[in-house]
A and B are shown apart, each in its own frame.
Chain A
Amino acid sequence: MTETISFKLNGRSISLSTDGERMLLWVLRTDLGLTGTKYGCGKAQCGACTVIVDGKAVRSCVVPVGYVKGKDVITIEGLAKNGKLHPIQEAFVKHDALQCGFCTPGTILNAYSLLLKNPRPSRAEIIQGMDDNLCRCGAHVRIIRAIESAAEEMRRR
């Protein structure tokens, strides 16, 4: 059923008229043109579609857009501020923590929520927190290193 759905997207208030049962992933990618959020599996099993809703990582392929009404949504496009990369993005670049780059937006946003919850994660906590994000190219060791260094940098700032 078509309804008006308002929420905050990457810091800006938006309103759109659509069926609230549609998955957030498709609304972001199609209606809102934010293609940084990727489809990987459609069943919340890979993490490529991860976005942040009210500070928590969610799998946008299984979250209806109606759920984010009045909430604060951050996608990969909203992580850099005023053209300046977020420390996690910087760390991914500096550590070559990606290959094909397709899982990268979801991986970065999952790491972002992990560091919001736990600014001082141990290596084991990073591994545990990232374990449900799949990367087929095998950039894992560098992703762990990048998150460790980003955590350090975020604490320093």
Chain B
Amino acid sequence: MKEDEYIELDFSDITTDPNLTRREFLRLIGGGIIIFFSIGDGSTVEGRRRGRGYPEDFNAYLRIGADGRVTCFTGKIEMGQGVVTSLAQMLADEIDVSLQSVDMVMGDTTLCPWDMGTFGSMTTRFFGPALRAAGAEARAVLIELAAEFLQTPAERLATENGAVFDKKNKAKQVSYAQLAKGKTIARRAKGKPALKKPSEFKIVGRDVLRRDALEKVTGAAKFAGDIRLPDMLYAKILRPPAHGAKMRSVDTSAVEDVDGARLIRDGDLIAVLHKSPDGAEKALEKIKAEFDVPQATVDDETIFEHLLSSAQRRNVVASGGNIESGEKLADIRIEQTYLDGYVAHAPMETHTALAKVDGNKATVWASTQTPFSLKDQVAEALGFAQQDVRVITPFVGGGFGGKTSGRQAIEAARLAKLASKPVQVAWSREEEFFYDTFRPAAVVKIRSGVTKAGKIVFWDYGVYSAGERGSAQFYDIPHHITASFGGWMGGSGSVHPFATGPWRAPANNTNTFARESQIDIMASKAAMDPVEFRLKNLRDERMISALKAAAEEFGWTRSKAPSGRGLGVACGTDSGTCVALIAEVAVDKASGHVQVKRVVCGQEMGLVINPEGARIQMEGCITMGLGYALSEDIHFEGGKIVDVNFDTYELPRFSWVPKIETVLVEAQGTSPQGGGEPAIICMGAVIANAIFDATGARLLQLPMNPKRTKQALTSGTHDVQNLAHA
């Protein structure tokens, strides 16, 4: 890849009035050929319902400028997942320009039309097709214009590399730049324009390096904390020692000892501002505050009892046949409970925002996955009109679902308004852990049965407080029921002692851990090879293809578990993608330490836009997944979070990382599916199953830290059966 293929995301401050009419909007974005489009009826209707501004019938658009460059304006953001590259690939191919002619403008609520947010592996799946359709529409408009310009019937014209030419005489051609010059043509993508066939792709389906790499390796890439404004101040905010704590007394008199420190107090918000972040920190230390901390009623040991006893309404996710009939068919019945603790998002960039308030208008640069909903929250907090707030999203330093919450931006905005100066709020690592919306702790109870011949005949599944994503099983089981008790928010605010929220493939890590462990137990009881057992009980062709691809790449040979080899398998589905993992582990019996030596991932994700980008996401999922599988577990006493930094909260490290091999199953004729989350969901089960294969010990609780592994090695299973509630 040439260096000139790099693009620079434009995060500079363009002063505009956010309260635009459509005509003003068109003037703002300048001339050229503009194609408006919407991701889907759902999101547009949602946008309308909430009374958004200009995107009454679209939520993204692209423009072909007089310089021939194609710019896509989208509310999506780039947080490492690589859509800044893959979206540009899709657009370049459909519109027939080189990849380096495409610019992406992302996550700016004034420049970009409304978008729900960047989460759920939805960008490629839902935004992608709309973007391609808009690209195709743009190309059709260009051909129309060229027909006039070249005095040639449109059907005789074709496009290539930013130009329209006469198929009979290629010298007769006109560039997109020439066609766009001096024009303002606005069209709305509608109907079904003829999209290119996969066989016609030149850029989609090709490995493309990240387009943001140059800025990121030189330190030039701007994250929210890197934005500098004249006279800006850095804030540090007084925090309670525990969730639910109430302040009894506060003495701020010593703040003035710190030169340049400024105290701000507004109700519950007590902050100090300083021209340097460390100066603010020093001033904050001068505040003496006492809090009443409520008696802890639950901790990380007792939480599971609590979750079961506060179980919410039962919601049947899927069912078929009749469990009682199924039970009669079973030769072997297995009843098991699986537990999963709270997990932090822990992005390397903590929640950060810079806010500037001018009169009744505010601009906020924020690390956020949801700039548009953040804009409305800021407006509400400041008492401003929604259109008077602009959120700009620079590069986001990891999100994983955690940056769908934007408390820091609201704090920065409030402080900026109170101080009449631009204010940056950058959470410390301790604040990041404290205010994180953790992946919820959860319980899964499964009863299932299998015949001697290895056919699963019934499946009775209940998940408590994790949520239902990934809970519906995909095996061919005649009698089955899957129920969810409470969503991933725990149903009501009172279930969890602190905030919980979406964490990369919400609920699916927990559900897949439980399901695929249970499947493995059945395979073992039926004395069958775990891959063979799954294939025998699967009918979903896509899942079968993913599993076979992984098994072939791994060089799987049949054996029933425990074989002593330390090999495990797990399957799952997320974001429309089917994924199968096979892992090899080594278990140190003396310490209980588990080293994952090799992971092979087979993935069927439909059409793959950027295979290299997809593989990076698979590797990232597998690596990140080592954490929740082996070590990550938030310790807490009531509302007090015990783990507040990386000394006790252990993220995966270089020395943990296995050899990773990824296989993308060929499915170019089908529509693209999600890639940012699927491969992480199998990590708990694939390691649990490999530990069982290595040692005969079955772990039923995540994370499988050395203590639990050692305990399981001693007792044969890590005992979680003493929970009182059935």
* Interface positions of A (Cβ within 8 A of B): 22-23, 26, 29-31, 33-43, 45-46, 48, 75-77, 79-80, 85, 89, 92-94, 96, 98-105, 108, 126-128, 130-144
Contact = CB atoms under 8 A, between A and B. Distances in A.
Interface residues of B, number: 58
22 contacts: A22-B276, A26-B277, A30-B278, A39-B225, A45-B645, A45-B646, A92-B213, A93-B214, A96-B209, A98-B213, A99-B82, A99-B616, A100-B80, A100-B348, A102-B349, A102-B397, A104-B217, A127-B654, A131-B655, A136-B400, A136-B624, A141-B623
A92 B619 contact: no
Contacts of B57: none
Given A85-B217, A100-B79, A41 B429 contact: yes
Given A76-B218, A96-B616, A134 B651 contact: yes
Nearest to B346: A136
B156 interface: no
B18 interface: no
Contacts of A80: 218
A102 B217 contact: no
Contacts of B400: 136
A37 B277 CA distance: 14
Interface string B381-407: 000000000000001111010000000
Nearest to A76: B219
- A interface majority secondary structure: loop
Interface string B197-220: 000000000000110111111111
A29 B397 CA distance: 17
The 8 closest A-B pairs by CB, nearest first: A36-B219, A138-B623, A102-B397, A100-B80, A101-B216, A99-B80, A76-B219, A138-B620
Contact of A94 (B209, B277, B616): B209
B276 A26 contact: yes
Interface of B: 79-82, 209-210, 212-223, 225-226, 228, 234, 275-278, 346-350, 395-398, 400, 426, 428-429, 612-613, 616, 619-624, 645-647, 651-655, 657, 660
Given A39-B225, A127-B655, A100 B349 contact: yes
B209 A93 contact: yes
B276 A31 contact: yes
Contacts of B428: 42
B219 A41 contact: no
B4 to A, nearest CB: 13
B277 A30 contact: yes
A93 B620 contact: no
Contacts of A93: 209-210, 213-214, 217
A102 B616 CA distance: 16
Contacts of A102: 223, 347-349, 397-398
B286 to A, nearest CB: 16
A39 B432 CA distance: 12
A138 B652 contact: yes
A22 B398 contact: no
A81 B79 CA distance: 28
A123 to B, nearest CB: 10
